A = this chain, B = another copy of it.
């Protein structure tokens, strides 16, 4: 029995762990889809701002977003520091997209 348990552990076939991992995989799929949708919207925002001659970055808006997500994180028992790191990570990627877009436009023009 002990040898079997050790084997199950080594093979990663532990049923409890497998159950947790299915939940994690489902959540990760949802996160990736949500991020994909978020970037679809920020791409539309980038195009709209360029047409409307609005500045690409808005530091006040970013500060409000960070504060709001810290509060939501606290309510959900998530470390607000991590929440802030996460949204900064995403915003950085959005800025990188905008820069790539602007560079492509400049090249085309």
Q: Does A45 contact B (CB under 8 A)?
A: yes
Task: Tell me the dominant secondary structure on chain A's binding face.
Answer: helix
Contacts known (A48-B16, A48-B20); A33 close to B72, Cβ less than 8 A:
yes
Return the chain B residue nearest A9 by Cβ: B54
Contacts known (A27-B41, A31-B35, A65-B28); A93 close to B87, Cβ less than 8 A:
no
Query: Cα distance A45–B30 when bound, in Å?
Result: 20
Beyond A12-B60, A32-B69, A82-B93, 13 extra complex contacts between A and B, CB < 8 Å: A9-B54, A17-B52, A20-B41, A20-B45, A27-B38, A27-B41, A28-B65, A28-B68, A29-B72, A32-B73, A32-B86, A36-B76, A39-B78
